[in-house]
Chain A
Amino acid sequence: MEQALVNLEVFSATLLELARADSNLLVVTSDSRGSAKLAPFAKAAPGQIVEVGIAEQNLVGVAAGLAAAGKTVFAVSPACFLTARSLEQIKNDLCYSDRPVKAVGISAGVSYGALGTTHHSLHDYAVLRAIHNLAIVAPADNFETREAVRAAARLPMPVYLRFGKKRMPHLPRMEPDFALGRASRIREGTDLSFLACGETVAPAFEAAGLLAKEGIQCRVLSVHTLKPLDVAAVRQAATETGGVITVEEHSINGGLGEACAALMLQEGLFARFKITGFPDDHTVTGSQEELFRHYGLDGPGLAATARQLLAKR
């Protein structure tokens, strides 16, 4: 697969394109412009970036105020801090008060690798899914990043955008267009479906390639929008293919997997089903790549899980 850019570089370039067209657009950072790849933005549009220092609660509160005064606001901070320390500001100042700020969690999941659990965000989908009036979006590749940032800017409601920091491959896609709330079909197959999001779509696609060599044809979906969930896509995966494996760089509790499980169970769709992600345990030390391998979230690991699931009667 062709290696493209880190999604955050595309995020930053897209924001700059939007900022040039709309002087009302602002980016707010908490000493995070470097890690967010926003240095070029800050240089090109210095009047459209606001720094609040290492103060994530303040970041979200100030962003809410800027939005209240009519600004289109992207508030950017590492996902681990943004969705934990300032969770109450997201809940009250953005979602409850209906301020359509785009909260951007960078270096999400285990992107920070060996920096450890303080810097991991394996809880963010779970806590944010339970908050009303928030769209949750984790783009898989550069294309989805660009489209998601544009769509989020237009969406008149709060959005959580989640980005990792790995250089992402260009993924193929069956449909040329992108819409929030509609999963992107990356590969077609009927033996099994991988429903993945964010930086786990690429390894799911890799797993599908490995399985194809064994004659197992998998559907791969990028479920970039966790909320609102693409109900039709999940339903089809459960009914049209031989089983569903969800893949997320998140705790197995409360994320994409449980969202799909709840939907399928309540609709009476009893497909073979497996949630993959990070177990409810202390995370071992390692880089993102090592952790993906350790927890079976790399291509070979996901392929092994698929074989096990298909072996079940």
Chain B
Amino acid sequence: MLTERDLKLKSAQYRKDLLRLIKACGTGHTGGDLSCLDILNVLYNRVLRVSPETFKSQDRDYYIQSKGHCAEALFVVLADRGFFPAKDLETLNRYGSHYLGHPTRDVNGVEQNTGALGHGLAVAVGIALAGKMDRKDYRVFTLLGDGELAEGSNWEAAMTAAHYRLDNLVAIVDRNGLQITGSTEDVCQLSPLDEKFKAFGFAVQRCDGNDVGDLVRTLEAVPFRPGKPSLVLARTRKGKGVSFMENVAKWHHGVPNDEEFSRAMAELEAAEAAIA
């Protein structure tokens, strides 16, 4: 099992892999990829009971990425976990490739085609409900963007999750506070999200979504309350790990130029060296 220090090193490695990938293919949702990368790291390296060998098993844990636009982050982590060769990602977004800008089931390890926002939670609810009906002990995790929560379908699904007491369901909100236009609170106020999800019947825990230690402690504690779906409100920084990208809305889908790429990689190397 990876230690907290191992996980920190993984996150550093993933950030470099991610920027190389985005730089090479010339497109990507850089800011959101960087904000959710630590969450994906902890899920796939500590929490999820799934591997390339068990991916088709009826008893695996499921992960649905509702914020599908951060496909690059998911692909980097899935490649590292052996779901497909990392070299495959050289074809990302290329003509005829099945690696495209959103997750699809053509990619080994991806459970559901996503990209249109507000879809993942309902699908996760369906899988979790089937698990309860069949008395299986798998869990279902889904990652939601915060801006995505303006989609009403999320709240329909939230009501159903609580109604059926789906404590095998864990929704994680990547609460980076920014969407393409700017602050989520300026675009359409979301706060207080913890109170909203509590009112919808979830057991809610806050955590630092860019702190792997805090993520491990939080995600290993699910379900937070028996009989209730869990909601992890993970405070993150968009662009996390690269100083000039952090908390800047324009990096929602910005691609670094050569100079920015070099600076970013130097920062990430230095951070990695500090952990090692």
Contacts and interface: CB of A to CB of B under 8 A. Distances in A.
Interface string B99-133: 00000110000011111101101111111111101
Given A55-B156, A61-B157, A93-B119, A69 B113 contact: no
A68 B127 contact: yes
Given A61-B119, A89-B122, A69 B157 contact: no
Interface in A27-69: 47, 50, 52-53, 55, 57-58, 60-69
Contacts of B51: none
B58 A93 contact: no
A64 B159 contact: no
A62 B111 contact: no
Contact of B131 (A50, A62, A69): A69
Contacts of B129: 50, 62, 65-66
| B115, B125, B130 pick with most chain A CB within 10 angstroms | B130
B153 interface: yes
Interface in A153-181: none
Given A53-B159, A57-B153, A70-B58, A64 B115 contact: no
A98 B163 CA distance: 27
B105 A97 contact: yes
B160 interface: yes
A92 B126 contact: no
Nearest to A89: B119
A258 B129 CA distance: 41
Contacts of A96: 104, 113
Please classify how large the interface on chain A is, using the bins under 10, 10 to 19, 20 to 34, 35 or more: 20 to 34
B113 A97 contact: yes
A302 to B, nearest CB: 41
Interface string A72-113: 000000000000000011001100111000000000000000
Nearest to B115: A92
Contact of B116 (A52, A58, A63, A88): A88
Contacts of B153: 57-58, 61, 89
Given A58-B122, A71-B130, 5 more contacts: A53-B159, A58-B153, A62-B126, A70-B130, A92-B115
Interface of B: 58, 62, 104-105, 111-116, 118-119, 121-131, 133-134, 152-153, 156-157, 159-160, 163
- Chain A to chain B: the 4 pairs with minimum beta-carbon distance, closest first: A65-B126, A61-B122, A69-B130, A58-B156
